Structure 1
Amino acid sequence: MTIRSKSRHVVATVAEIEQLGRKIVEVKGMEIGIFSVDGHFYAWRNVCPHAAAPVCEGTVCGTRLPSMVYEYIHGRDQEILRCPWHGWEFDLKTGIHLVEGGVKLRGYDLEVDGDHIYMLI
């Protein structure tokens, strides 16, 4: 049995992502979106599972929270990624689609070392 170790790829600096909120990078021929949410970093493949749209180019926003009829409560600001093509919304922390829990973005592990963020692949 062969165990492959993951290689580290520098994708950004901490300051860069904290300032911009996101960065789209290419690693091993794949576009990956790097996001900062509440001081933590997340990496998602830039492909929407619905129609292969460049999901990481979408709006980072909040969403409507469960509430009573005719009551609209907005929350989770800057934690939701909305696909630019069809508006599908994904949790930036988990990658899970907000309506269809079985649908998820493809995620990658990140590691912070000093001022640099590395993707492990």
Structure 2
Amino acid sequence: MPVMLREAWARFTLIVLLALGLGVQNSAARALAVPDLTTTVLTLTITGIAADSHLTGGAGNKAGRRVLSACAMLLGAVAGAAAVLHGHPTLPLLLAVAILAAASAAATALARTDAPWTRPLTEK
């Protein structure tokens, strides 16, 4: 086997092993259900898709939202990479600030309503 191919296989093997390790870590964090136990957002979302799927005996009721979240993160990563590669290096920062401002304005407007989801939960 040529040296370049051997190095490529070693890299891919390492990537797979690290991905499996992160998946196991996130599955353990989900199983422990410790509040505020921080894990990476994207891998936890993908782990949730797999852990709650019908194939693993889960309800599968949140898969659509989780897939949409993962796709939104992918789209954001692609947009940020394109902005860095084809624009000015500060363009991703400006885009992030604009998106944050829009999300903050939307959250503020939505929080002013009197919808049931805006009220705190009460003890029964």
Indicate the TM-score class for this superposition, using the shorter chain for normalisation.
under 0.3
Larger RCO (CA within 8 A; separation ≥ 6): 1
TM-score by length of 1: 0.22
The structure carrying a bigger helix percent of its residues is 2
Larger Rg: 2
Higher strand proportion (structure 1 or 2): 1
TM-score, length-scaled by structure 2:
0.21
